[in-house]
Structure 1
């Protein structure tokens, strides 16, 4: 379930970047961060 949510989230970001023409919206680390957040909601990022 977490993988699907991360994929939809990143797909939405890519769509916004495509429509707006702002390619700087696409940060490579955003995919890894969103995957970690959806996969482990109580992970290390939550205590940061």
Structure 2
């Protein structure tokens, strides 16, 4: 499957739609999460998709 979100010439709306369709719910939640830098361990980042 072609990765439209990686194509800098594709319309931004198409890129966003493509990327979001590939992400799991947990990945989407992780991208909206704010985390204090002092607790941003590699494990926390991996487990929470941050």
The TM-score bracket by the shorter chain reads: 0.3 to 0.5
Considering Cα pairs closer than 8 Å and 6+ residues apart, tell me whether 1 or 2 has the greater RCO: 1
Please report the TM-score for the alignment, with normalisation by the length of structure 1.
0.32
Higher helix share: 1
When the two structures are superposed, what TM-score results if normalisation uses the length of structure 2?
A: 0.31
Q: Which has the larger radius of gyration?
A: 2
